[in-house]
């Protein structure tokens, strides 16, 4: 079946057949129970302009087109029994292309049926803004800053050379590689990001957040779900209404807030953590710690180096602190409502343990002393261990 091409100047469009005859009714094809009409067009646009796309269905964008050429294909489909009725419904449908103050604007008007759009965009755009009222957005190999918005649908980014701002009213956001900063927001759905060279701000109304490699600061928040950060080149701020928070490595301070779930940090330059319930496990911490949980165990392994004044507390659970042999620190540990002097156990003879009223208390200097480390427990056992 013959496919007709739409060649339009900026701001106008006409149907034109390959033989130069004006076509009132573009070719149709039957796909299952729907009739589909294809609209195609190309535009030559100068470098340095912005591209704005407004549509209402699925949209797929691929970068790297040569020669400043913008190409688009839109499949518009309607569900009706006969070809004549389909032609009547789709007659006069066209894609509008216009220029507005440094922008090339491609508009897919809301019509009688569904519209699926594919774009091939050139290099050298100043920025690109892709918006759909309802449907998935997929973008790959684009070399400029990108903004993608969907009223309701997943967003998938393969590779983008500039900053990205992604927003959906509901659906998964998946990102492969972004050379700049990333901001991703969904009203409900998971967010995954593989490699972000700049900062990352990731927010979802419900769903897991996973970021493998981020060059700068990470801010990640979910109303309910896990937060998992691989490597961060700066600080990490993570929060969840329920689910684990796991940060493998951060060059800055990790701040974690968890309403119901565990927290685990593999290495960081300091930790600030608040948890309502759940265990907290900290490894290779070289800076200050401010850690508390209403109910759960705390395990902290310090790293040789500079330790700032720190505080660990649990309302119900054990606390274990592991101290390297070459780290100087001053300990003050208090265990409320303890029933035995064995509620504080220390590997260091220079830290005497005694009963003081309803508390068991231990304090003293380790490796010549240093910053104060305060430990507070209620009912559980405090272990002060020497790193083997």
Q: Per-residue pLDDT tens for 285-301? A: 989 999 999 999 999 99
Predicted structure pTM score = 0.90
Residue range 81-95, pLDDT digits in tens: 789 999 999 888 899
Q: How many CB atoms lie within 10 A of CB 350?
A: 12
Q: Is residue 29 part of a domain?
A: yes
The domain tally of the chain equals: 1
The token pair that represents 334 in the structure block: 């208090």
26 confidence band (pLDDT: 50, 70, 90): low
Q: What is the mean pLDDT of residues 27-42?
A: 91
Residue range 218-265, pLDDT digits in tens: 999 999 999 999 999 999 999 999 999 999 999 999 999 999 999 999
- In the prediction, which pLDDT does 303 show? 86
> Is the Cβ–Cβ distance between 333 and 321 less than 8 Å?
no
Domain residue limits at 94: 1-153
- In the prediction, which pLDDT does 1 show? 31
- In the prediction, which pLDDT does 112 show? 85
- In the prediction, which pLDDT does 13 show? 35
> Is the Cβ–Cβ distance between 239 and 256 less than 8 Å?
yes
Residue range 193-218, pLDDT digits in tens: 999 999 999 999 999 999 999 999 99
Q: Is residue 225 part of a domain?
A: no
Q: What is the mean pLDDT of residues 148-167?
A: 97
Q: Is residue 100 part of a domain?
A: yes
- In the prediction, which pLDDT does 377 show? 94
Q: Is residue 195 part of a domain?
A: no
The token pair that represents 11 in the structure block: 């701001």
Q: Is residue 128 part of a domain?
A: yes
Q: What is the mean pLDDT of residues 142-169?
A: 97
Residue range 363-373, pLDDT digits in tens: 999 999 999 99
From residue 369, how far is each of 127, 176, 199, 352, 388 by CA, in Å?
56, 47, 38, 14, 19
Buried b / exposed e across 36-53, counting CB within 10 Å, b at 16+?
bbbbbbebebeeebbbbb
**CA separation for the pair 53, 66 (Å, rounded):** 19
Instruction: Name residue 42's beta-bridge partners.
Output: 71
Buried b / exposed e across 321-343, counting CB within 10 Å, b at 16+?
bbbbeebebbbebbbeebeeeeb
Highest mean pLDDT among 110-124, 213-227, 322-336: 213-227
> Is the Cβ–Cβ distance between 297 and 280 less than 8 Å?
yes
- CA dihedral in degrees (61, 63, 67, 73; nearest 10)? -20
Q: Is residue 121 part of a domain?
A: yes
> Is the Cβ–Cβ distance between 218 and 233 less than 8 Å?
no
- In the prediction, which pLDDT does 12 show? 33
Q: Is residue 125 part of a domain?
A: yes
10 confidence band (pLDDT: 50, 70, 90): very low
Q: Is residue 373 part of a domain?
A: no
**CA separation for the pair 214, 217 (Å, rounded):** 7
> Is the Cβ–Cβ distance between 366 and 348 less than 8 Å?
yes
């Amino acid at each position: 079946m013959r496919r007709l091409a739409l060649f339009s100047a900026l701001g106008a469009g006409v149907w034109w057949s390959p033989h130069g005859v004006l076509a009132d009714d573009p070719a149709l094809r039957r796909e299952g129970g729907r009739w589909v009409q294809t609209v195609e067009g190309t535009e030559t646009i100068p470098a340095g302009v912005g591209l704005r796309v407004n549509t209402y269905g699925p949209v797929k964008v691929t970068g790297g087109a040569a020669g400043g050429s913008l190409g688009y294909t839109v499949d518009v489909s309607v569900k009706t029994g006969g070809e004549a009725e389909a032609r009547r419904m789709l007659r006069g449908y066209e894609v509008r292309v216009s220029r507005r103050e440094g922008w090339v604007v491609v508009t897919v008007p809301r019509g009688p049926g569904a519209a699926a759009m594919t774009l091939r965009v050139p290099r050298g755009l100043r920025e690109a803004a892709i918006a759909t009222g309802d449907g998935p957005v997929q973008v790959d190999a684009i070399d400029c800053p990108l903004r993608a918005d969907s009223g309701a649908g997943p967003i998938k980014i393969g590779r983008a050379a500039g900053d990205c701002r992604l927003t959906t009213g509901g659906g998964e956001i998946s990102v492969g590689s972004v050379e700049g900063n990333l901001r991703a927001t969904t009203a409900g759905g998971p967010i995954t990001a593989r490699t972000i060279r700049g900062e990352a701000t990731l927010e979802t109304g419900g769903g897991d957040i996973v970021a493998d490699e981020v060059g700068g600061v990470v801010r990640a928040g979910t109303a309910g779900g896990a937060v998992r950060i691989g490597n961060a080149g700066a600080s990490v701020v993570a929060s969840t209404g329920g689910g684990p928070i796991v940060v493998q490595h951060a060059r800055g301070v990790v701040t974690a807030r968890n309403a119901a779930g565990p927290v685990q940090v593999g290495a960081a330059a300091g930790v600030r953590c608040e948890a309502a319930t759940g265990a907290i496990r900290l490894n290779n911490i070289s800076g200050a710690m401010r850690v508390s949980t209403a109910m759960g165990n705390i395990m902290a392994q310090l790293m040789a180096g500079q330790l700032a004044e720190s505080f660990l507390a649990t309302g119900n659970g054990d606390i274990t602190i592991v101290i390297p042999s070459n780290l100087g620190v001053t300990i003050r540990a208090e265990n409320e409502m303890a029933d035995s002097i064995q509620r504080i156990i220390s590997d260091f003879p220079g830290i005497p343990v005694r009963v003081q009223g309803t508390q068991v208390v231990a304090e003293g200097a380790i490796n010549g002393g240093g910053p104060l480390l305060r430990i507070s427990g209620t009912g559980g056992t405090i272990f002060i261990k020497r790193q083997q």
